[in-house]
Structure 1
Amino acid sequence: MNNALKTADWPHREGLKLLTQTLGADNIRWVGGAVRDALLEAEVHDIDCATTLTPDVVIDRCASAGIRTVPTGIDHGTVTAVLDDGPVEVTTLRLDVATDGRRATVAFATDWRDDAARRDFTINALYAHPETLEISDYFGGLADLEARCVRFIGEARERIAEDHLRILRYYRFQARFGAELDAEAEEACADMAASLKGLSRERVADELLRLLALPDPGPTVARMFERGVLRVILPEACAVHVEALKSLIVQEAEQTIAPDPVRRLASLLPPSPDVAEAVAARLRLSKAQRARLVSAAERTASDADDPKALAYRITSPFAVDRLLLLGSSVEALTDWNPPEFPLKGGEIVARGVQAGPEVARILQTAERQWVAEGFPPQSRVTAILDAILKKS
């Protein structure tokens, strides 16, 4: 497994070489997701660096080397080094001095094992030397990664008590990496699920959506429901909705539609716009996310009768959501762009209709018939208008 890290591309980036030279190879280690994902030969996104140097020293050394830094989390020892080939978060080794389940008071440390001990899961506490790429594994993370077991470092209940969000992180990591279940973690998450109520809505929403964005979170969400965890953060969900999520995931796969977490969230709710509005507000979703969730909740069986008409009315992405949630085909929308209605109010005025509400009514009537007829060409629109004006 170590060879996968040594053959990965990212450790050999010029920016990382410069950062290593600047801070000193013995003073830093790559850590966390980049190391874990590289060992699994998965795509690596963000790169994190742990260091024995304090933030002020990191900033000074980077400045001397012409590397711009941003104090993104300076109170907790994190500085972002802005490199040509991507930013890297550089964090001083830390110890948790005090925790309350939502936030931690930290002190800087000098021992790599102490820093590893405050992390959540063994597979996230793997440190790689920047030059040799040798792994430092203090808590059996390599074996757990090999077995695809997501296991807390130390006693699960203690780690959850430090940060209640680790319950949701456990399920997300289990859905992404897990195969072998850890009984202690499962019991601790279920027993302490009520503590999630004390977290900020934004943190809960972020973890929930990240979980739902994974390729197949269905079995994990079902287990969260069975263990009473899901109802703490999403009390609107019931067993029927959990099955609806599984069905949606099948539809997405069969119709080769990329997963969307908001669409999947909609499947876990009853098709009620009022419920969708309430959930969007509670989870502090963005305006765009709220609009998508509410639109999905407005679905009806008749939406599947004319997919193109639906897409014209509510936009293609929203139409795809509704069709998938209904278990209907989206093939009609593949590579199809809704056309522009080829009739303007000025043309109606030119035909002798006084500008005002009557023009708007005629436009709407003509447009509805145009859509119902499958978006015919201009010549047919003219005929439609002639017929409407004749009746007026």
Structure 2
Amino acid sequence: MTSSVDEKLSNADWLAAPGIQAVFSAVERDGDAARVVGGAVRNTLLDHPVPDVDIATTAPPDVVMSRARDAGLKAIGTGLEHGTITIVADDFPYEVTTLREDIETFGRQARVVFGRDWEKDARRRDFTMNALYVDRNGHLHDPLGGLDDCLGRRVRFIGDADGRIKEDYLRILRFFRIYAAYGEGELDAEGLGACLRQRNGLRQLSAERIGHEMRRLLRAPRAAYALRMMNDCGLWEIATGGLARIDDYDALRSLDSVAPQTRDAELGLVVLAGFVREDLARISDRFRLSNQERKRMETAWAAKKRFLQTARRPSAAAMSYAFGREGAIDGLLAVWSASLAGAKEDSAFYEGMLSDLAAQVIPEFPLKGADLISLGHKAGPELGALLRRLEVAWIESEFALTKEQLLERSGAAS
């Protein structure tokens, strides 16, 4: 198996890139070694994209920076206190971190020293599948035997699971997020039990860290199963301060092949936690969401309500005009998932509406205030009210009224 793994890694595009080979050449001097570690190795073995590359080395951080600059590479001390240097080669950033080992362990503030022992460095990491290293030639180094877990898609903590979580309680969320992204089968029982026992540690985490991890979890392929397990363990309520519609979210993710929006965190949060509008504000504050993310959630929630409250099903044109194409599709998917969860599926309507929304050209209201002023109407609040009444009439006509017909309806100013 090792030879086939080495072959797969050695043929990886990112490892053959001149930029990373230049980093290796710069760092690996005077007996020092460097190896890619973690996500890039794991993702390559599991046929996932590799968005970033982390490198571990025996060279001290100041030496890494000096050698990189001597080689004509850009070096930035992004985390010197943690031994991390960012080296930019061919416009791609590589994080290079000196091997470390714990001297004293007390949560995220553990005192560490830089070292040269690859196994001790591996034991500081979170999961066995993340403690895999590969050298510049594609040869795998597996100090803790994590390869089988990686290929078997088993997410297991390194060493004592409770102890690893106490070092950083965010590892509870990472356990579920890594599983949702890469895992198969049942969650590791030992890890799940530790997350359950240590769940109150989540209360110590900042909103930014929880929000960042939860957004990544919601985008993962097996998010629905992971969130159900989190909810069963009481972790969702601790993380969010509220309840969850797990069945609705299960139904939403069953539509992954129908619409890519089902993987978006904003829509997922609306489906999971948007019982009332106030829930959106709570979740946004809890996760420190951006204004853009908040706005999308609010639009999706409002579009969902419009679909549910309208006696006669609205047209794609009306929904697109009111909420934009993205907001209308989000609202439709939220209603569709609730319908599926309640065993009230009307697939023909939802599929047809989704197709119509995707193809819909959003109508543009043909009148402007200047058009009414040209007829003698005076600028001011009355003009604005008249313009809004004409817009409502235009919408109710299914956008059929022309500019000339709307002007006729406006009447001449007295």
Q: Same fold (TM over 0.5)?
A: yes
Name the structure 2 match of 1:302. Answer: 309
| Alpha-carbon shift at residue 340 of structure 1 (Å) | 2.6
1:19 equivalent in alignment to 2:5 = no
| Alpha-carbon shift at residue 323 of structure 1 (Å) | 1.0
Task: Please give the residue correspondences for 1:174-189 in structure 2 after superposition, counting only pairs within 5 Å.
Answer: 174-180=179-185, 181-189=187-195
Task: Please give the residue correspondences for 1:308-327 in structure 2 after superposition, counting only pairs within 5 Å.
Answer: 308-327=317-336
1:172 equivalent in alignment to 2:194 = no
Once the two structures are overlaid, the 10-residue window that deviates more, 207-216 or 244-253, is: 244-253
| Alpha-carbon shift at residue 258 of structure 1 (Å) | 5.6
Tell me if structure 2 keeps the 8 A contact 1:102–1:199: no
Tell me if structure 2 keeps the 8 A contact 1:29–1:128: yes
Deviations 1:10-33, CA, capped at 9 Å, x for gaps: 101010111111111752001010
Name the structure 1 match of 2:75. Answer: 69
Identity across the alignment (%): 37
| Alpha-carbon shift at residue 125 of structure 1 (Å) | 0.5
Tell me if structure 1 keeps the 8 A contact 2:377–2:413: no
Once the two structures are overlaid, the 10-residue window that deviates more, 272-281 or 101-110, is: 101-110
- The 1-side partners of 2:126 and 2:33 are apart by 23
After superposition, the Cα gap between the structure-2 partners of 1:171 and 1:256, relative to the gap in structure 1 and judged at 3 Å, is closer
- The 2-side partners of 1:258 and 1:326 are apart by 12
Count, aligned residues: 387
Provide structure 1 residue ranges, at least 5 long, that are not aligned to the other structure: none
Once the two structures are overlaid, the 10-residue window that deviates more, 269-278 or 5-14, is: 269-278
SS in 2 for 1:90: strand
Tell me if structure 2 keeps the 8 A contact 1:4–1:40: no
Name the structure 1 match of 2:58. Answer: 52
- The 2-side partners of 1:53 and 1:147 are apart by 33
Tell me if structure 2 keeps the 8 A contact 1:100–1:163: no
Name the structure 2 match of 1:5. Answer: 9
Name the structure 2 match of 1:360. Answer: 384
- The 1-side partners of 2:224 and 2:184 are apart by 14
Q: Which of 125, 149, 154 is the equivalent residue of 1:149?
A: 154
Name the structure 1 match of 2:345. Answer: none
- The 1-side partners of 2:239 and 2:56 are apart by 33
| Alpha-carbon shift at residue 7 of structure 1 (Å) | 1.8
- The 1-side partners of 2:152 and 2:398 are apart by 55
- The 1-side partners of 2:107 and 2:317 are apart by 49
SS in 1 for 2:257: helix
Paired residue type of 1:58: V
1:384 equivalent in alignment to 2:402 = no
| Alpha-carbon shift at residue 228 of structure 1 (Å) | 1.6
Tell me if structure 2 keeps the 8 A contact 1:2–1:39: no
- The 2-side partners of 1:355 and 1:176 are apart by 57
After superposition, the Cα gap between the structure-2 partners of 1:70 and 1:337, relative to the gap in structure 1 and judged at 3 Å, is farther
Task: Please give the residue correspondences for 1:1-392 in structure 2 after superposition, counting only pairs within 5 Å.
Answer: 1-24=5-28, 26-131=32-137, 133-180=138-185, 181-238=187-244, 241-255=245-259, 257=261, 259-298=263-302, 299-300=304-305, 301-302=308-309, 305-327=314-336, 328=350, 329-376=353-400, 380-389=402-411
TM-score (ref. length: structure 2): 0.89
- The 2-side partners of 1:312 and 1:216 are apart by 34
- The 2-side partners of 1:271 and 1:295 are apart by 14
Deviations 1:257-300, CA, capped at 9 Å, x for gaps: 46211110111113311111122112211111112222333331
Deviations 1:207-230, CA, capped at 9 Å, x for gaps: 111000112311111111112221
Deviations 1:310-367, CA, capped at 9 Å, x for gaps: 2222222222111110114422211334233221111101101111112111211122
- The 1-side partners of 2:106 and 2:323 are apart by 45
SS in 2 for 1:50: strand
- The 2-side partners of 1:76 and 1:335 are apart by 51
- The 2-side partners of 1:97 and 1:295 are apart by 50
| Alpha-carbon shift at residue 99 of structure 1 (Å) | 4.3
| Alpha-carbon shift at residue 390 of structure 1 (Å) | 6.5
Tell me if structure 1 keeps the 8 A contact 2:262–2:268: no
Tell me if structure 1 keeps the 8 A contact 2:316–2:360: no
Deviations 1:132-189, CA, capped at 9 Å, x for gaps: x211111121010122111111010110011100010000111122124321101001
Tell me if structure 2 keeps the 8 A contact 1:366–1:381: no
SS in 1 for 2:411: helix
- The 1-side partners of 2:407 and 2:101 are apart by 75
SS in 1 for 2:383: helix
Paired residue type of 1:4: K
| Alpha-carbon shift at residue 108 of structure 1 (Å) | 1.0
| Alpha-carbon shift at residue 4 of structure 1 (Å) | 1.7
Paired residue type of 2:318: A
- The 2-side partners of 1:286 and 1:221 are apart by 22
| Alpha-carbon shift at residue 104 of structure 1 (Å) | 3.6
After superposition, the Cα gap between the structure-2 partners of 1:106 and 1:339, relative to the gap in structure 1 and judged at 3 Å, is farther
For the aligned residue pairs, the C-alpha RMSD in angstroms reads: 1.9
After superposition, the Cα gap between the structure-2 partners of 1:99 and 1:281, relative to the gap in structure 1 and judged at 3 Å, is farther
Paired residue type of 2:77: P
After superposition, the Cα gap between the structure-2 partners of 1:302 and 1:252, relative to the gap in structure 1 and judged at 3 Å, is farther
Paired residue type of 1:148: R
